[in-house]
A and B are shown apart, each in its own frame.
Chain A
Amino acid sequence: MTHSTDLIASRMRWTRRGVLAAALAAGIALPGAALAQQKSVTIALTADAVILDPHAANELSGNIMFYHLYDPLVQRTADLKFEPGLAESWQVVDDTTWVFKLRKGVKFHNGEELKASDVVFTVERLKKALMASLVANIASARAIDDYTVEFKTPKPYAVLHMALAEILIVNEKYAKSVGDEQMGLKPMGTGPYKLAEWVKEDRIALDAFADHWRGKPRIDKVTFKPITNPATRTASLLTGGVDVIQDLSVRDVASVQANNNFKVITRPSLLNLVIAIDTRDKSPTIDLPVNPMKDRRVREAIVRAINVDAIRTVVMNGFSTPSDQYVPSSHLGYVPGLDFRKEYPFDLEKARALMKEAGFEKGFTMTLDTTNNRYVNDGAIAQALAGMLSRIGITLNLNLMPRSNFFGYIRVPSDKSSFIMSGWDTPSGDAGNMYSVLMYSRNKKQGYGQANRGSYSNPTFDEWIDKADATADMKKRNEFLQEATKIAVKDIPMIPVHYEQDIYAAKNSVTVVPRMDKFIWAYEMDVK
């Protein structure tokens, strides 16, 4: 018979207190006390994981599990710094060769030791998997000895170590013996927790892995419960069913904050909501001989007509952070001091003047393509945008669709779209990935511009990206990407709107470390 963990936990807490009190009263030592000190935490997520194979999926709940069960060579910290993980050190040998030294004595959950061959196998497995894009920057991996791996990159890539934070190392023997289907059900890695039980849509229970190379986790048992409905999530927290909840609903923030037993934790996420502007000669949804947005002045007018602060206060209830650039300040390529909002503050007069100057005083009509179930309040934001742009004469028709249709619909060559709002996050900590995919000229180079939905093309911008991708020096890469950022902010190929805010709520007794990448990690948490 299995009991739900929280129930056991609450009972145990109760009995422990009772037993301890009795023991104190009697003045005797209690040999079982150390055993009873087991810490446990129950966390409510918005959804269940679908598959526990880190090479076969990319969705938030799954990612959260992956980092409990597996480890990468390089670890990403809560505030997006990078530190040694399974690799204790690395060096860049030449422009395209990196050598990583593995930590010795790292144990998999089945007791086997991590060897360089496991890393090589992981890269090769990924190349054939659904998440092949994770290893796009690795040409080959080779084991030099049991604890040394050599990576070759197809071109100089100064941030390979940062990209490696997303590659989770699996055990070669285990993966080969159980096969792909079982890898999705019975994960086995080097991570701080091992899978105890997975009851689909009900709970994923993890046990601390005592032999973890960082040391045993503070919390012995972690249970994740998928609770999709936001109100039910809040209710579960308030009734003690769970200790921590992900995505506290905005309308519940005040009531949870008012309760002394709970706390609310927020942090800006990495997800930047951006609007791609069509810059082709003729735009699919604009019934004019030329595309007005080819003219930079029109693009600037649009930016100035959008009141991001109003979106923040009215649509987002204050839970968003207006974006100053395309990537957050933690990233390579961020230019300190440069702020899109200061560059182009909300100014209707100026916007109208710019429209007039460009010869579009009467405005024009176009369509905004976006989702209605993918980003926080996406539909409401679209409506706000339509209202704002109408004030400079632009009639914005809304084409809202569920995400199952959206990503195929807007896909490059984007021949049905003029104005697309979507989110972009770069957990790799580097603007280069975003720029080369979203803003580099289309069809110029393989692997570049594949999501350049507005057909933006500026040879100077491309040049800086080329330079960044031709150096193995991180400092230089940063400088080159900063130049690219300056050009993009001037050219406005896309409008950065805001970063969504992650909101968690927890019992006061639980220490929660909100992570920039949203991947709740019990290893960093504690329970009083």
Chain B
Amino acid sequence: MFGYLIKRLIQMIVVLWVVSVLVFVMMSFTGDPTYMMVPLDATEEQIAQARRLLGLDESHLVQYWRFLLNVLQGDFGRSFVFRQPALQLILERLPATLEIVFLAMVIALVVAIPLGVYAGANPGRPLSRAVMAGSLVGISLPGFWVGMVLIFVFAVRFQFFPSSGRGPTTELFGLRVSFTSWEGFRHLILPAITLSIGTLAILMRIIRAEMMEVMKQDYIKFARAKGAAQKGVLFKHGLKNALIPLVTVFGLMLGDLIAFATLTETIFAWPGIGKLLVDSIYRGDRPVIVVYLMFVAFMFVVVNFVVDVLYALIDPRIKIK
């Protein structure tokens, strides 16, 4: 286990380093951000002064070297635009994103598991077919369109939910969260549903496919033969054995939603981190992009680690090496 941890740690450092190099190389092609920050009538001296202020007056290599040295001391650099530490910009927006992502994942699981199990256990039934057709629709609908339709129907037409923004927040363990009050929770619902639809559809299809596979196994036949109840057969013997691929995909999708909930956040004016990434790309705000992508890489490494641990818990035959 210890050796495994060390291996994972080294792997993480390499991944983070590669990401930082990639972003620096890419950003060196996207033009000089100084020009977006100075007025169009700025003279050469004013531009030079701005460059100096932003730390852009040196070669890309020197800038990268500086960045590395600072990272080793825990300083991830400052945003050109906000003039704030880049990591702080991400962390102060993170709770809002986590909130809708977790609610979205709960919705996805609660809906996908029973429907997927049902469709996998009873492939021929009309309801199973409907579920499968529905999942195809869910996969093919673009999230921003679903968001707009939800706003139009549930906010503008029937006024069940607010159309956008985050509701009142309360402080919980130092984080601002909004799910603690009814008004805050109401603001969460539409964005979370929008975010969950794609994931829900994919999870459902995976569960169904795995269940169909598992249901053909001898141990299922045996369980039935010994007279186990249908529910027990499906969930205890069937679903448990179908879980491994589900956990893998679930982990990846969780990471994906946290990192790139951009569209949903933009549509619902949700103050999360996804919008920060897009805005920073538009503004050529390299420090934020670097730290953001490093943060995302870090998150995926952690998620994969958790998934590995879960494998061992779900299937004792698997050993972590």
Q: Write the residues of chain A forming the contact surface with B, with a CB cutoff of 8 angstroms.
A: 1-4, 7, 47, 50-51, 53, 56-58, 128-133, 136, 180-181, 184-185, 199-203, 225-229, 231-232, 235-236, 238-239, 241, 373, 402-409, 411, 422, 424, 433, 437, 446-447, 450-451
Give the interface size class of chain B: 35 or more
Q: Which of B266-315 contact A (CB under 8 A)?
A: 266-269, 271-272, 275-276, 279, 281-284
Asked if B11 is an interface residue, CB under 8 A from chain A, the answer is no
Contact present for A201 and B271 (CB under 8 Å)? yes
Contacts of A2 in B (CB 8 A): 168-170
Asked if B17 is an interface residue, CB under 8 A from chain A, the answer is no
Contacts of A132 in B (CB 8 A): 46, 49-50
Contact present for A235 and B165 (CB under 8 Å)? no
Contact present for A225 and B31 (CB under 8 Å)? no
Contact present for B275 and A228 (CB under 8 Å)? yes
> Cα distance A408–B42 when bound, in Å?
13
> Cα distance A433–B94 when bound, in Å?
43
Contacts of A447 in B (CB 8 A): 43
Contact present for A7 and B183 (CB under 8 Å)? yes
Contact of B41 among A57, A128, A133 (CB under 8 A): A133
Contacts of B81 in A (CB 8 A): 50-51, 57
Q: How far is the CB of B234 from chain A (nearest CB, A)?
A: 42
Contact present for B30 and A239 (CB under 8 Å)? no
Most buried by B among A239, A411, A451: A239
Contact present for A241 and B83 (CB under 8 Å)? no
Contact present for A408 and B93 (CB under 8 Å)? no
Given A202-B165, A235-B152, A408 contacting B275 (CB threshold 8 A): no
Q: List 18 A-B contacts (CB under 8 A).
A: A3-B168, A7-B168, A132-B50, A184-B82, A203-B165, A227-B164, A231-B151, A232-B163, A235-B155, A239-B159, A241-B162, A403-B282, A404-B30, A404-B36, A404-B284, A408-B32, A437-B41, A450-B41
Across the two chains, which residue of chain A brings its CB closest to B27?
A404
Contacts of B162 in A (CB 8 A): 239, 241
Given A4-B165, A7-B168, A51 contacting B82 (CB threshold 8 A): yes
> Cα distance A200–B81 when bound, in Å?
14
Across the two chains, which residue of chain A brings its CB closest to B92?
A200
Contact present for B163 and A201 (CB under 8 Å)? no
Q: How far is the CB of B153 from chain A (nearest CB, A)?
A: 11
Given A228-B269, A241-B163, A133 contacting B151 (CB threshold 8 A): no
Contacts of B181 in A (CB 8 A): 1
Contact of A58 among B35, B39, B168, B169 (CB under 8 A): B39
Q: How far is the CB of A250 from chain B (nearest CB, A)?
A: 17
Contact of B164 among A7, A133, A236, A402 (CB under 8 A): A236
> Cα distance A472–B28 when bound, in Å?
45
Contact present for B43 and A450 (CB under 8 Å)? yes
> Cα distance A108–B283 when bound, in Å?
33
Q: How far is the CB of A50 from chain B (nearest CB, A)?
A: 5
Contact of B83 among A181, A229, A403 (CB under 8 A): A181
Beta-carbon contacts of B41-68 to A below 8 Å, as 1s and 0s? 1111010011001000000000000000
Most buried by A among B50, B96, B271: B271
Across the two chains, which residue of chain A brings its CB closest to B82?
A50
Given A1-B170, A56-B83, A181-B84, A229 contacting B267 (CB threshold 8 A): yes
Across the two chains, which residue of chain B brings its CB closest to A407?
B35
Given A7-B183, A229-B267, A408-B35, A424 contacting B40 (CB threshold 8 A): yes
> Cα distance A1–B96 when bound, in Å?
16
Across the two chains, which residue of chain B brings its CB closest to A129?
B53
Contacts of A131 in B (CB 8 A): 39
